[in-house]
Amino acid sequence: MSKPEARNTAVSDSSACWPALPLEAWQSTRDTLHMWTQIVGKVRLELTPKINHWWNVALYVTARGPSASVIPYAERVFEIEFDFLEHQLIIKTCDPATKIIPLAPRSVADFYREFMSALRALKIDVKIWHMPVEVMDPIPFDQDRIHAQYDKEYVRRFWRCLVSIDEVFKLFRSRFVGKSSPVHFFWGSFDLAVTRFSGQPAPPRNDPDPVLRRIMHEAYSHEVISAGWWPGGGDLKDAAFYCYATPEPQGFAQQKIRPDAALYKKEMGEFLLMHEQVRTSSSPTAALLEFLQSTYEAGANLGKWDRKALERAPDEPAAGAA
């Protein structure tokens, strides 16, 4: 039986699998794509039963791009998938009916109108709240003619990053036998994330906004250590990996994290490791796993998590390993 630590991940350290993704080169495309994924994600939010921590709203990485996975609709089911290689949005149903929307430079308003029209043509009648979330100065989808860029090369790079990072996150997740989220893409914050839970409830939230407080209470009802990857935006001027603990244990920010390039961002309340530092390292996979493991250990040790009960023993094989 092989040890899980010795198992080879399918992720290659080839530079082709870890492309450069400087935010300044594709900021306008990133912002447009963010709005498009929110439109698709809101359909999933509207039609799926609520799952703890909002897990029902997330998208999932496929071989070609983020997918909303299977969504129930009366006696039918359908699926919405971004194809970032052929540059199209595909809406598939359990019937032969399929709609394809080309992805190209176009406004959010145009995309929204064609997308909702395609759903109606497939006899899927759904209404979504047309305001974006988790962004500054939101513009209603049907009025947004500001965001209208689509650079195919950088979208392809974004896809390649998602595929590689998704696999490393899954390998990291396999080491934990406690409660853990799937590896999923949150369209609100536009990041890929995986979250581990101690099993203990967290203190009540005190966010000043009552709506935000309700949302955050559901997301952080229990103690978590969450890691992810974000392509950047706002105060963070480039793509980065992150890790935070909620509630944050005393001394977390002062912990020594690996690799040495990682740092604690006080304004964000999390450790960061820049994407460029990972992809240009001798082994991006090893560097990322080192960051994920060391930040988890910092939070779990200070938070007094029962690590023996929550983690797979070093000599315990992963399911299916031989």
Tell me the per-residue pLDDT of 281-320, one tens digit each, with 9 for 90 and over: 999 999 999 999 999 999 999 999 999 999 987 666 554 4
User: pLDDT tens digits, residue range 163-195?
Assistant: 999 999 999 999 999 999 999 999 999 999 999
Which pTM value belongs to this model?
0.92
In angstroms, rounded to a whole number, what is the distance separating the alpha carbons of residues 306 and 59? 31
**Structure confidence at residue 318 (pLDDT):** 52
Domain regions of the chain by residue span: 23-143, 161-310
Q: Could you give the CA distance from residue 253 to residue 102 in angstroms, rounded to a whole number?
A: 45
Query: Which candidate, 18, 1, 4, 97, places its Cα nearest to that of 311?
Result: 4
| Contact assessment for residue 115 and residue 89, using Cβ atoms and an 8 Å cutoff | yes
- Quote the tokens at residue 4: 């899980």
Amino acid at 3: K
Instruction: For the chain, list residues with pLDDT below 50.
Output: 1-7, 319-322
The per-residue pLDDT for 11 is 77
Question: Do the Cβ atoms of 111 and 92 come closer than 8 Å?
Answer: no
Residues 202, 222 contacting (CB under 8 angstroms) = yes
pLDDT at 10: 65
Residue 206 confidence (pLDDT): 77
* Alpha-carbon dihedral sign for residues 103, 230, 21, 9: negative
274: which strand partners?
Answer: 240
Q: Phi-psi region for residue 23, left (φ > 0), alpha (ψ -120 to 50) or beta?
A: alpha
